Structure 1
Amino acid sequence: MQPHRRTDWTLTDWIAQARAIERRRSSRHRYAAAERHIARFPLADVAIELGLVVLEALRALLCDAASLFGRPNRGWRGAHWSTPVIVAANNQVARLERIRGRNAAGDEEPSAGRPSATAIVGGPLRRQRLQGA
């Protein structure tokens, strides 16, 4: 299947194809391919992506001003397609880092042979309630 007809992109595949389009010789076909590729961006996949490396690669691609896929200069970003994508990627990175911080805090040794409350109920607020009770 030709890349511009594909509709089931993963973020990893989309980024790899975007880099391949950028490496092409400058022509009207290259710009048309970039427009078609942007139209097929999987925005819903950004919110469920679990790989920090993939999200960082996406942000690097979109924040590169020299890129065909990069966001424009200040003042022109409001209606640009990359603005909601960058916001979603930043939100997902922050969400994953919060989860990683919670998991690191939950790796403490259980006291007196009991299982930790985090392992039982899975959350820091519930852990505080259980320890207070």
Structure 2
Amino acid sequence: MRRFMIALLGGAGVLHFLKPEPFDSIVPAALPGSARAYTYASGVAELGCAAAMACPDEKVRRYGGLATAALMTAVFPANVEMARQWTRAGKGPGWLAVAYGRLPLQLPLIWSGWSVWRSPRR
């Protein structure tokens, strides 16, 4: 699962810079500052978490898991915002299934990071 998370976070982190608009659009409006700043900050965080979890140093890898669990928790409001926006926009049932399906899927992502953090020391 750690390798999957490294690929997922690395790919998503790169997308935050190559195609930031979709990420900008789901930053909750209640947050101060520009949506683009949050998009770039979360992209940096995802790349950092991926790099830390890929690190051969066990201590760095474990802290990367803890940071990943925190990051996956922190971005949950953006997933809620996406579901809210897609509902208001009248997206079809398939799109709404994707938007609302992402919400419970956040839990295994949080758990994956937490599992790396809690992995036994060798």
Name the TM-score, length of structure 2 as normaliser: 0.35
Higher relative contact order (CA 8 A, sep 6+): 2
Name the TM-score, length of structure 1 as normaliser: 0.33
Specify the structure having the higher radius of gyration (Cα): 1
Structure with the larger helix share = 2
